[in-house]
Amino acid sequence: MHLTSPERRPLGPFIVLVAAAAGALLALYYYLVPLTGITGTPGALLVIGSSLALVVDALVLWFSGRGMLFGVFWTLGLIGALCTVTAACFLHAWWLSAAMVVVLVGLVVALAAPSRPRRAAA
């Protein structure tokens, strides 16, 4: 099944996907493990949710080509990553902040990468 170009992996969405997934795992760690400073707090729950939303966002970017959908989800991803990095800073969740910076880098890469022909699903 070839949903994208077989020659090139969409690097930007891939970076976003990996970093957002890492962020979700880190947020889960902060929420569940004792003595993180934010164990069991609504703030930690919030960044779990926002990190998971960024995972979904990365998948949409991966499969959406360069159309309007890409634009919408790229913008949503940017807002989500900025808000999550801000929240992570206020939560003193520094590793999560770092993951969100990588998400932002991935978004920039996705935008800067040359457009590629979109293949229909097999």
Binding site for another protein (CB under 8 A): 34-38, 41-44, 46, 87, 90-92
Which of 53, 118, 57 lies closest to 84, judged by CA?
A: 53
Please, which residue, 40 or 71, has the CB nearer to another protein? Answer: 40
Measured distance CA(12)–CA(42) in Å, rounded: 30
Please, which residue, 26 or 91, has the CB nearer to another protein? Answer: 91
Name residue 56's amino acid: V
- Shortest distance in whole angstroms from residue 45 CB to another protein: 8
Please, which residue, 4 or 41, has the CB nearer to another protein? Answer: 41
- Cβ atoms within 10 A of the Cβ of 52, count? 16
